Structure 1
Amino acid sequence: MVDYMWHISEDDLESIAIGAGILGTGGGGNPYIGMLRARQMIRENGPVKVLSHDELDENDNIVCVGGIGAPTVGIEKVRDKQSYYALKAIEDFTGKKATAIISNEIGGSNSLEPIIPASLAGLPIVDADGMGRAYPEVQMKTYFVYGVPSYPMAVCDEKGNTALITEALDAKWVERMARAVTIQMGGVACYALAPMTAHQVQTTAVLDSLSLVKRLGDAVRNARTTHEDPIEALLDVHPGKVLFQGKIVDLDRQTTAGFARGQVVIEGTDQFESDKLTIEFQNENLIARLNSEIICIVPDLICIVDSERGEPITTELLRYGFRVTVLGFPGPDLWKTPEGLATAGPSAFGYDVEYSDLELT
C-alpha cells in the first residue's frame, strides 16, 4: 500500500451520515445512530484511514462488512461490535488476515459500519462499496453480480453468537439463510464476507462512494451555515432532480420477514399542489408514482429529505405531517446492465415494468 488519501475525523462523521442517509434511499440503517457509534470508536482510537481503490496492492485482503435486519428494529436494538466479531470470525475461517475494510453499501448507517472493525483492528477503509446506494437484500451487491463469491459469510449478534454460511447455491440462498439467522438473533446482526482481492474491488465495486457521501453532507452543512437552499446545494454536488415536494398525509409501515415494508403518500405543495406522490418501500424506497404514473424506480435512487434542512428521512422515521422534498438520482451504471437489473431492478422486487432511465431534464 502507498500513501493514504485521507483520514476520517470526528467532524467528518456528521457529513458522512447526512450524505449516506440521502443515498440510502430510506434504508441502510439509521445514520445518526451509526454516527454515534463511529464517533465513540474515533474518540477511543483516533481517526480512521481511507484508501482510494488505486492505492490497493495485489496482495491485499479486503473484507466487506455490513449490517443486516429491519431498520425499524435497529433504532431500538442498536448494534454494538458485531461487525468486528464477524471480521474476526471470517479471518479465522478463511485463514486470511484482512488488510482493509470495505462497506457492503454506502447508504445509511452501513456507510459508517466499517469504522467499527477498522478502528478496533487498526485497518484502513476503502473508498468504495457494493451498491452505491442501499438495497434491502444481501445478494444485491455489485460484487456478486460481477463474479465475487457470496460465501463464506459470518453473521454475528451482540451476544457472541456466530453463524457461518460456508456454502450456498447462489447469493439469493445466502440472503435467505442470513435473514433467517438474523431474525433469530433479534432482527439485527452484522456480517463479514470472505476477503476480496484488489482486482475484485477495482472491477466490481462502486468506486469513490464514501468521498461522495462526505461531499453531499458537506454541501448540506455549508448551506445551513450560509442560509442557502440545501436542496440546491445537494444537486450542485451530485446530478439529480426534485421529483416532488409536499406533506406526508398517509403512511403504512410494517415489519415483516425481517424488513420494513409499506408505502408513504405525499400531498403536493407549491408547484406540485393538487398532485400526490406514492412511494413504496422495502427498507429502501423502490418506486415513486406521481398520481398513477411511475416517475422513478430502482435502481435509480428515490431520496426523501426534510424540505428546510436537507436532512435525510429514513423509512423508519417517516411521520404524518412531515414536509419533505423527494429527490431522484441516477443509479450507478453497474446496476443498469442486464445482470444488474436482473438482480436489483424492478423485476427483482416484483414490479412487472420495464426499467427506464431517470430523466434529469
Structure 2
Amino acid sequence: MFIVEKLTKDLIDPLVIGGCILGGGGGGSMKSGREFAELAFELGTPTFIQLDELKDDGGVIITVSGVGAPAAKEQYVRPTDYLKAIELLETTVGVKPSAYIVNENGGAATVNGLLQSAITGIPILDAACNGRAHPTGIMGSMGLTELEDYESIQVGVGGKKGTPARVEMVVKGNIQSCSKMIRQAAVQAGGLVTVARNPVSAAYIKSNGAINAISHAVEVGLANVNGTTPQDKIERVVSVLGGKIINEGKVKSFELETKDGFDVGRFTLKSLSGNYDLTFWNEYMSVDNNKGERVTTFPDMIMTFSASTGLPVTSSELAEGDHIVVITAPYQNLRLGSGMFSAKNYEVIEEVLNIKILPYIESLVGARSL
C-alpha cells in the first residue's frame, strides 16, 4: 500500500491533482487548493501523521471542510475564517482537538487542514470522512447518523465581514438538520463557508473513516504528474484506480444551475462512437449510453479530463464545446467512509436529479458494518 510519511511543498501538485481526480467532479478547484496549500507552507509546517500514531483514547478529532457550490461567484472565505471556525468549535466543545481530518478528497478539500495545522501545530491524519467527494453532509458523516445518542456540533464561517453576507454559525443537534443549516449558511455567505464539525475519537475513525485517503490522493496525483502526454496522464490514473476510459468527445447541451448551495446539472458527451449522458450534483452521479443503458453510477468514480492537457476538470469548470475524456473506476478501489454504505443516503440524489441510483448500487448498500 502506498503511504505518505510526510507532506512537503514538493507534494502540493500531486496532492491537489490527485485530490481533484478523487473529487469525482466536485471537491473544489485545483487553483484554490494549490493557493491554500502554498499559503499553509508559507505560514508554517503542517504536521501529518498516521492514525496508528494516536491511541484509541487519543482525545478529540474534528473534521475540517468547506461547504458550498463550486460555481457560486460570490464566495468569500479568508485564512482567518478557517481558524475562527476551529476556535468556535473548541469553545463549544471545551477541549482542543488532538488532530484534524478532512471531510473528503477534492482539488480544494484534500488540502483543507494544511493551514490549520501549520498555524496551530495540531496534526492532520492520513484519513478522511470519505476518500472521494460527495454532495451531502450525511454521506460524510462516517455513519454518525446511525447513532441515536450522537449530538452533532457544526460551525460554519464565511462571507465578507461588515456585509449582510457574513456568517459565523454554531449549531447543535441532529446531523441532517445541522448539515442543512450549514448548507444554508453557505448560501447566505455567497456560496461557501469553512466548517469545523463532529468531534469523534480515534477509535471511531479507525472503524468508520476512509483510512489513508490523503496518501491515496498523492498516489493518484503522482500517476497523472508522471505522465508524458495527455493520454498517458489519463491512462496512468486509470491504471492506478483500476478503472477504464469510457470515451472521448465534446461537451454538448451543458446545463448547470446553482441551487440551494449545490451545482446541479447535466450534459451530453458527443463522441464518434456514440453519445453519453452525464448528470452531476456537484459530483458526477451517472453516465448513460445512447441506448439509455447505465454505464456507471455514483459512488463509482466518474471523472472528466481535458483531452488537450490530461488534467482533471471539475463539473463546475466544464463548458459547452470542451474536448474531454471521461473515466470511471469501481467504488471498491476507493477509500470510502461508513456514510457511503447506507441506502437512505442515496434517496435524495434520486429526488434531486430524477434518476435511478439505488438499483445500481445493491452490492454496496450494507457492505460495510457500522
**Could you state the TM-score of these two structures normalised by the residue count of structure 2?**
0.86
Correspondence for 2:240? 237
Write out per-residue CA displacement over residues 84-109 of structure 1, whole angstroms, 9 at most, x where no aligned residue: 21111111100010111100111231
What residue identity is the alignment partner of 1:275?
G
Asked whether the equivalents of residues 104 and 131 of structure 1 are also in contact (C-alpha less than 8 Å), the reply is yes
Alpha-carbon shift at residue 64 of structure 1 (Å): 0.3
CA change 1:29–1:240 in 2 (3 A) is: same
Q: What is the SS of the residue equivalent to 1:128?
A: strand
Write out per-residue CA displacement over residues 54-74 of structure 1, whole angstroms, 9 at most, x where no aligned residue: 222222321101001110126
Which has the larger displacement, 232-241 or 311-320? 232-241
Alpha-carbon shift at residue 285 of structure 1 (Å): 0.7
Alpha-carbon shift at residue 157 of structure 1 (Å): 1.4
Q: Which of the numbers 235, 242, 262 marks the counterpart of 1:259?
A: 262
Alpha-carbon shift at residue 357 of structure 1 (Å): 5.8
Asked whether the equivalents of residues 154 and 191 of structure 1 are also in contact (C-alpha less than 8 Å), the reply is yes
Whole-angstrom CA distance in 1 between matches of 2:146 and 2:308:
40
Correspondence for 1:188? 192
Matches within 5 A, 1:130-279: 130-143=129-142, 144=144, 147=147, 149=150, 151-158=152-159, 159=161, 161-167=167-173, 170-224=174-228, 229-268=232-271, 273-279=272-278
Count of residues in Structure 1 that have an aligned counterpart in Structure 2: 347
Alpha-carbon shift at residue 356 of structure 1 (Å): 3.3
Q: Percent identity?
A: 24
Asked whether the equivalents of residues 334 and 340 of structure 1 are also in contact (C-alpha less than 8 Å), the reply is no
Q: What is the SS of the residue equivalent to 1:152?
A: strand
CA change 1:348–1:201 in 2 (3 A) is: farther
CA change 1:314–1:166 in 2 (3 A) is: same
Which has the larger displacement, 145-154 or 119-128? 145-154
Whole-angstrom CA distance in 2 between matches of 1:339 and 1:347:
16
What residue identity is the alignment partner of 1:192?
A
CA change 1:146–1:311 in 2 (3 A) is: farther
What residue identity is the alignment partner of 2:297?
I
Alpha-carbon shift at residue 250 of structure 1 (Å): 2.3
What residue identity is the alignment partner of 1:98?
P
Q: What is the SS of the residue equivalent to 2:97?
A: coil
Alpha-carbon shift at residue 340 of structure 1 (Å): 2.4
Asked whether the equivalents of residues 300 and 358 of structure 1 are also in contact (C-alpha less than 8 Å), the reply is no
CA change 1:238–1:208 in 2 (3 A) is: same
Whole-angstrom CA distance in 2 between matches of 1:233 and 1:5:
19
CA change 1:338–1:197 in 2 (3 A) is: closer
Alpha-carbon shift at residue 335 of structure 1 (Å): 6.7
What residue identity is the alignment partner of 1:50?
F
Correspondence for 1:341? 343
Asked whether the equivalents of residues 230 and 308 of structure 1 are also in contact (C-alpha less than 8 Å), the reply is no
Whole-angstrom CA distance in 2 between matches of 1:125 and 1:253:
34
Correspondence for 2:322? 322
Q: What is the SS of the residue equivalent to 2:246?
A: strand
Matches within 5 A, 1:274-293: 274-291=273-290, 292-293=292-293
Alpha-carbon shift at residue 301 of structure 1 (Å): 1.6
Alpha-carbon shift at residue 174 of structure 1 (Å): 1.7
Tell me whether 1:306 sits opposite 2:312 in the alignment: no
Write out per-residue CA displacement over residues 320-344 of structure 1, whole angstroms, 9 at most, x where no aligned residue: 2222111112224757999523213
Tell me whether 1:53 sits opposite 2:85 in the alignment: no
Alpha-carbon shift at residue 348 of structure 1 (Å): 6.8
What residue identity is the alignment partner of 2:171?
I
Alpha-carbon shift at residue 142 of structure 1 (Å): 4.7
Correspondence for 2:112? 113
Whole-angstrom CA distance in 2 between matches of 1:355 and 1:335:
21
Write out per-residue CA displacement over residues 140-186 of structure 1, whole angstroms, 9 at most, x where no aligned residue: 1151356494611111115374211122xx32212221112221122
* RMSD between superposed Cα atoms in Å: 2.6
CA change 1:5–1:228 in 2 (3 A) is: closer
CA change 1:275–1:178 in 2 (3 A) is: same
CA change 1:88–1:337 in 2 (3 A) is: closer
Whole-angstrom CA distance in 2 between matches of 1:335 and 1:329:
17
Unaligned 5+ residue runs, structure 2?
364-370
CA change 1:278–1:97 in 2 (3 A) is: same
Correspondence for 2:38? 39
Alpha-carbon shift at residue 112 of structure 1 (Å): 1.0
Asked whether the equivalents of residues 76 and 189 of structure 2 are also in contact (C-alpha less than 8 Å), the reply is no
Tell me whether 1:103 sits opposite 2:106 in the alignment: no
Asked whether the equivalents of residues 59 and 98 of structure 2 are also in contact (C-alpha less than 8 Å), the reply is yes
What residue identity is the alignment partner of 1:42?
F
Which has the larger displacement, 345-354 or 278-287? 345-354
Whole-angstrom CA distance in 2 between matches of 1:333 and 1:59:
23
Asked whether the equivalents of residues 213 and 335 of structure 2 are also in contact (C-alpha less than 8 Å), the reply is no
